Structures are given as structure tokens and as C-alpha cells.
């Protein structure tokens, strides 16, 4: 399984950068971005699914960064739900959590999204 773990670029909890804006910027920096928790089995399954398809996502492990809690709260605001990780962005656009990504995979819309974002060349 191959993916990039992203660095956080010095973002400090309580700093002047709005966490929602930070997430939007981070989500647009790569074709596929996953916000994850390293010990979460659903996050692991999401990484395996995408890597198994040939995607090389950028992964932001919220539990391995001091700003992770702020970013997790911002994801809750963006999603409007308390159940957060994994959260997937493709082409800078929110796809959603595991249920949305799996539904897209099952109904055949995930691969075209990945191709359009430049994450797959099938």
C-alpha cells in the first residue's frame, strides 16, 4: 500500500488560520486527499481500497498532529455529522466519508471521478 503522509506545515492549534480554510487548501493540494486517524480500521480500509485501485492519495493523519483536533472539529462542521474519519476529497471536492465513497464505488461513479481528477489512468 503506497500513499503519501502529508506534513502539516507548521500549523499551530489556536493560530490565526481558520481550520476550515486550512482543510479546503489541503484538500486541493493533491488529486486525492484522505483525512484519517492512524488507528482507525475504516481509515485503513479506505486507504487499502484507493491504493488497490492504483491511486496514490495524500493522507493527513489527524491523530499525529497537534492541530488534529481543530481540523477534526472543522471536518465535523463541513460534513454536518459527528462521524468524521475517513473523509475523502477528490479533485479538491468533498466526496465524503466511507459510506459515500463506497456507494460511489458500487454505483460506478468513483472511477470516473478519480480519472477526472488525474488520480487514475485506466
CA 48 to mean position of chain CA atoms: 13
pTM: 0.87
Give the tens place of pLDDT for each residue, 37-66. 999 999 999 999 999 999 999 999 999 989
Domains of the chain: 18-116 (3.40.30.10)
pLDDT digits (tens, 9 = 90+) for 99-121: 999 999 999 999 999 999 999 98
pLDDT digits (tens, 9 = 90+) for 59-107: 999 999 899 999 999 999 999 988 789 999 999 999 999 999 999 999 9
Do 86 and 38 meet the contact criterion of CB atoms below 8 Å apart? no
Residue 90 vs residues 57, 65, 67, 80, 110: alpha-carbon distances, Å: 9, 22, 22, 19, 9
Q: Residue 36: beta bridge partners?
A: 61
Amino acid at each position: 500500500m503506497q500513499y503519501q503522509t502529508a506534513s502539516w506545515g507548521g500549523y499551530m492549534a489556536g493560530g490565526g488560520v481558520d481550520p476550515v480554510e486550512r482543510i479546503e487548501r489541503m484538500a486541493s493540494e493533491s488529486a486525492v486527499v484522505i483525512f484519517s486517524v492512524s488507528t482507525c480500521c475504516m481509515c485503513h480500509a479506505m486507504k487499502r481500497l484507493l491504493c488497490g485501485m492504483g491511486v496514490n492519495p495524500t493522507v493527513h493523519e489527524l491523530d499525529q498532529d497537534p492541530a488534529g483536533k481543530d481540523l477534526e472539529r472543522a471536518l465535523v462542521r463541513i460534513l454536518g455529522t459527528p462521524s468524521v474519519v475517513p473523509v475523502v476529497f477528490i479533485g479538491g471536492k468533498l466526496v465524503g466519508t466511507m459510506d459515500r465513497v463506497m456507494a460511489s464505488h458500487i454505483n460506478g461513479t468513483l472511477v470516473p471521478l478519480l480519472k477526472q481528477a488525474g488520480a487514475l489512468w485506466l
